[in-house]
Structure 1
Amino acid sequence: MKLIKAIFIGVILLGIVVISGFFIWLAPVGAGYSAKIMCSAIFVDGLTSSRARKEDVLADNNPLLSLITTNVDLRNQIVSAHAFGFRKRLAVYRPHLGCVLTDDTDQITRLRNSTPLITPIAAKPLMTGPLPMDVERRALNGLLADAMDEPGPTPTRRTRALVVLHQGKVIAERYDDGISANTPLPGWSMTKSVFNALLGRMQFEGMVGDISDPVLINEWQAETNDPRATITYDNLLHMSSGLAFDESYTNPLSDVVQMLFIKPAAAGFAVSKSLDNLPGSVFAYNSGTTNILSAAIRNLSGSRDVYQKRPTELLFRPLGIDNAVIETDQDGYFIASSFMHATARDWAKIGQLFLQDGVWDGERLLPEGWVDYSTTPAPAAPNGTYGAHWWLDLPGGGGGNDDSHSNQSRKTPQVPEDAFFALGHDGQSISVIPSKELVVVRLGLTRDRDAFDLRQFIANLSQLFPTVDPNAVKQTDGENQDTKPAE
């Protein structure tokens, strides 16, 4: 009887611990994730409330997220989320800056009053172009159809958009129901590659010095002999800052999850991390490094208003990207690691800029040598898989939800050796293949790693196209003459 009583008490205590843990640690994460993802999907991407919750939040029936209640205020453009009324989280939409999380309704007015005034951008639509004569349209269409199809009765692949550029022109594109060429979609960690381009633009314009210089982070410079003050822009771009950081999306208490969905200051949280290794000595992919880069760009920009206009004025305006959004934390710092939204065509423009060696419409936007630097293996990266905020290889199979693609070697089927990639959570990708004059964008919600094999898709697609001298491709300027805008 005493043993049974002890077991019963033990079970009760364990239940109390589990329930307490849920409300103290897990519920705020689930509520923050649900509110933020739904807010962005509805007010930035233009999806319906029901679709945003069913697909973007609950695609795999996550048991934690299914306990979260969400409410959408369409009039005030706010999404609230909570677990049984506990730890309510709010996500507030703002023009030009997308959605931001807050726990305090009193902050909503302040957050909305801090949005920058941005002059509208004249869009430069990509043009359509013909297939090369020796490329079979039926074979290309078959690959695209397969990428859009589902491998089983339950959706797992969830491809939302595909765009293929050849010689800078749209030769094929496909979209899921309710998604169009004008629908912004999240790129997750592809945002990191965009901030590579932004830093390159700033260096080209004389706004930042050499990338081997120490990063301008006030907190590090203020402390005497702080070893973090030796971290350089090069260390950050190569993911070898030496800072401690847990990049695990499956752990609700990991650094990356806390930074994105709990901490009010994503950049401040990343900056506060301690040094585990000598800068430059160890490759450790983590999202904190790009948010530190974002903080450095803020410090270099002087004012918050100037800083928040940097992506628009330096990058989006020259490329004619007219509705891209990079979201911020509560302090107004861009969450450069994860939260940019753009149409598939506009993501393709980022890839095309790099395919053309940083030249667009005959104008150089990135410093000479910047693309070569970005696509040269980082000294500490295993097997040469990572450059400077661009991946140099794809995983051996699957385009699932983990964008920390280290320790992958080239396997069959073969992807062209000169290809490089921007990759993101849920299977987002920009594939740049200079020797084939191709840029391929794939966006979706692929949380099952085995549902979509990006490596095989890119290998099969690239094999349809003739090989050219990549050095000749760099001489093109990206102008699209004598063709019509893609429809």
Structure 2
Amino acid sequence: MTWIKATFIGMILLGILVISAFFIWLAPVGAGYTAKIMCSAIFVNGLPSNRALEEDVLADNNPALSLITANVDLRHQTVSAHAFGFRKRIAVYRPNLGCTLSDDPARIEQLRTTSPLLRPIPAQPLRTASVPGNIDRRAFSTILADAMDEPGTNASRRSRAIVVLHRGKVIAERYAPGITASTPLPGWSMTKSVFNALLGRMQQEHMLPGVDGPVLINEWQSQLNDPRSVITYDQLLHMSSGLAFDESYWNPLSDVVQMLFVEPAAAGFAVARPLEHRPGTVFAYNSGATNILSAAMRNISGSSQSYQRIPFDLLFRPLGIGNAVIETDQDGYFIGSSFMHATARDWAKIGQLFLQDGVWNDERLLPAGWVDYSVTPAPAAPNGIYGAHWWLELPGARDSDGNLRDDGPPVPDDAFFALGHDGQSISIIPSKDLVIVRLGLTRDRDAFDLRRFVGSIAALFPDIVARNGDTTVEVESARQVAE
């Protein structure tokens, strides 16, 4: 009987431990994640509340999230979430800034009354064109249809939008039910590439001297002999700052999860990370780097009002992007690592700006050489996979042994990419004059083979071998030669 009693007591203690762990560690993450994702899906993306919960929050996700209760306040444009009445988090929507997480009632009231006042941004619609006559239109349509389709009986791919630009014009676009060309959608880590563009714009406007100098972070420069004070903008852009940061999304206690969904100040959390390696020596992709750059932008800009106008005045206005937002933490710092929303066409404009070497409507927006700098492999990046907040290689499907499958058309060597969580991507292929945007809610990496999708489209288009103003000279693709 003694062992039965011991077993029973052990099970009780284990149960107490599990419940305690849930309320101490998991509940804050679950409540913060649920409130933030639902708020953005409803008030920024314009999705119905039930879809925001069932698809954006719960689909393919941790079952612990089903223990979180969410309440939507349409009148005050907030979403609150909690675990059995505990660990309550609230996300507040504000025009031009999207949704912000907080658990401080006084700060929530303050957030409701603070939003930047902006002059309307004149629209610059992208021009449209037919698929070029020398392209296999049936094959092209088949690739797009397959990308929007589901691979099995249960939805797992969840492609939401596809836009293809050729020579700067929309030649194809597809949208999932309930999503339109005017629906802003989250880019997640594609926001990092946008922050690259913002820093380039600041340099072009003489707000930032260059990327080789130490990043302006008050907490680092104010402390005598702080080893972090020598970290440069270049090292942060190249993900080689040397700061300790855990980017494990599967771990609720990791730095990235805590920073995005628990900590009240994302930028402050990132700035406080200790140095782990000598700056510039080790490549470690992490979201903290971009939020440190965001904090530096705030210090350079001089005031919170000027800072919060930077994306609109320096980038969105010149490109005619009228309904994009970059969301902030409760201190007003842009969460540049993860939280920009824009339409598929507007994400395509970001790609087209880089395809055109930083020139838009005959105006140079990015410094000469900035795009080349952005797509030059980071010195510490393995196998040249990463540049300056732009990816130089695409992930692909893997076989049963975990090896990368290489059974599809190759992606051109000059291509580079903005990539984000849940399958977001901008693929830029200068040699084909193509920009391909794909947005979705794909949590199963095997549900959509981005490498094959991009390679298959690229294979249909001839290479551009010369450019003279608006005139291009092309050579036949291997497919066309074979035919």
Q: Report the TM-score range of the alignment, normalised by the length of the smaller protein.
A: over 0.9
Match of 1:60 in 2: 60
TM-score (norm 1): 0.94
Aligned to 1:236: 236
Distance (whole Å) between structure 1 residues aligned to residue 407 and residue 273 of structure 2: 36
CA distance in 1, matches of 2:64, 2:407: 36
Work out the CA distance in 2 between the residues paired with 1:408 and 1:213: 38
Separation of aligned partners in 1, 2:397 and 2:269: 33
Counterpart position of 2:97: 97
Residue 415 of structure 1: aligned partner: 411
Contact 2:397 2:404 in 1 (8 A): no
Spell out structure 1 runs of 4+ moving beyond 6 A.
Answer: 407-411
**Could you list the per-position Cα deviations for residues 124-176 of structure 1 after superposition, in whole angstroms to 9, with x for gaps in the alignment?**
01010122221021111100000000000000000000000000000000000
Give the root-mean-square deviation of aligned CA atoms.
1.5
| TM-score, with length taken from structure 2 | 0.95
Structure 2 distance, partners of 1:68, 1:453, is 32
Q: Is the 8 A contact 1:385 1:409 kept in 2?
A: no
Q: 1:449: Cα distance to partner?
A: 0.9
Q: Distance in 2 between matches of 1:127 and 1:190?
A: 23
Partner amino acid for 1:453? D
Aligned length: 467
Secondary structure of the structure 2 residue equivalent to 1:91: strand
Other-structure match for 1:356:
356
Corresponding residue SS for 1:450 = helix
C-alpha separation in 2, matches of 1:409 and 1:61: 26
Identity rate of aligned residues, in percent?
73
Distance between the aligned counterparts of 1:264 and 1:408, measured in 2? Answer: 39
Shift of 1:408: 8.0
Whole-angstrom CA distance in 2 between matches of 1:239 and 1:409: 27
Q: Output the amino acid matched with 1:210.
A: G
CA distance in 1, matches of 2:405, 2:339: 28
**Contact 2:397–2:405 (CA<8 Å) still a contact in 1?**
no
Matched with 2:250 is 250
Unaligned runs of 5+ in 2: 472-483
Residue 5 (structure 1) shift: 1.0
Q: Do structure 1's residue 438 and structure 2's residue 430 form an aligned pair?
A: no
Letter in 2 for 1:281: T
* Deviations 1:437-477, CA, capped at 9 Å, x for gaps: 000000000000100000000000100001013x738x559
What corresponds to 2:115 in structure 1?
Answer: 115
**Which residue identity does 1:182 align to in structure 2?**
S
Deviations 1:113-133 (A, max 9, x none): 221111110010101012222
Match of 1:329 in 2: 329
Q: What SS is found at the alignment partner of 2:437?
A: strand
Write out per-residue CA displacement over residues 406-434 of structure 1, whole angstroms, 9 at most, x where no aligned residue: x9898854100000000000000000000
Distance 1:224 1:283 in 2: 27
Which one-letter code corresponds to 2:3 in the other structure?
L
Distance in 2 separating the partners of 1:162 and 1:182: 13
Does residue 3 (structure 1) correspond to residue 3 (structure 2)? The answer is: yes
Q: Secondary structure at the match of 1:347?
A: helix
Instruction: Determine the C-alpha separation between the residues in 2 that align with 1:129 and 1:199.
Output: 32
Q: Please say if residues 188 and 339 of structure 1, whose CA atoms lie closer than 8 Å, have aligned partners that are also in contact.
A: yes
Secondary structure at the counterpart of residue 463 of structure 2: coil
Shift of 1:106: 2.5
The 3-state SS of whatever aligns with 2:438 is: strand
The one-letter amino acid paired with 2:210 is D
For residues 260-292 of structure 1, what are the alpha-carbon distances to aligned partners after superposition, in whole Å with 9 as ceiling and x for unaligned? Answer: 001011000000000000110000000000000
Q: Counterpart of 1:450 in structure 2: which amino acid?
A: D
Which residue matches 2:83? 83
Secondary structure, counterpart of 1:151 in structure 2: coil
Residue 80 of structure 2 aligns with an amino acid whose one-letter code is S
Amino acid at match of 1:158: R
Cα 1:451/1:184, change in 2 over 3 Å? same
Residue 138 of structure 2 aligns with which residue? 138
What per-residue deviation string (whole Å, max 9, x for no partner) do you get for residues 314-364 of structure 1?
000000000000000000000000000000000000000000000001100
Contact 1:116 1:305 in 2 (8 A): yes
CA distance in structure 1 between the aligned counterparts of 2:232 and 2:104, rounded to whole angstroms: 36
Give CA deviations for 1:30-64 in whole Å, capped at 9, x if unaligned.
Answer: 00000000000000000000000011001115311
Equivalent position SS for 1:114: coil
Shift of 1:108: 2.1
Amino acid at match of 1:472: R
2: CA distance, partners of 1:185 / 1:47: 10
Distance between the aligned counterparts of 1:178 and 1:390, measured in 2? 30
DSSP 3-state at the match of 2:20? helix
Whole-Å separation in 2 of the counterparts to 1:27 and 1:387: 37
Corresponding residue for residue 468 of structure 1: 464
SS across alignment from 1:249: coil
Where 2:445 maps in the other structure, the secondary structure is coil
Counterpart contact for 1:96–1:115, Cα < 8 Å? yes
Deviation at 1:372, TM superposition (A): 0.3
For 2:187 and 2:91, the matched residues in 1 are separated by 19
Q: Structure 1 pair 476/347, CA: closer, same or farther in 2 (3 Å)?
A: farther
Instruction: For structure 1, list consecutive stretches of 5 or more residues without a partner in the other structure.
Output: 399-406, 478-487
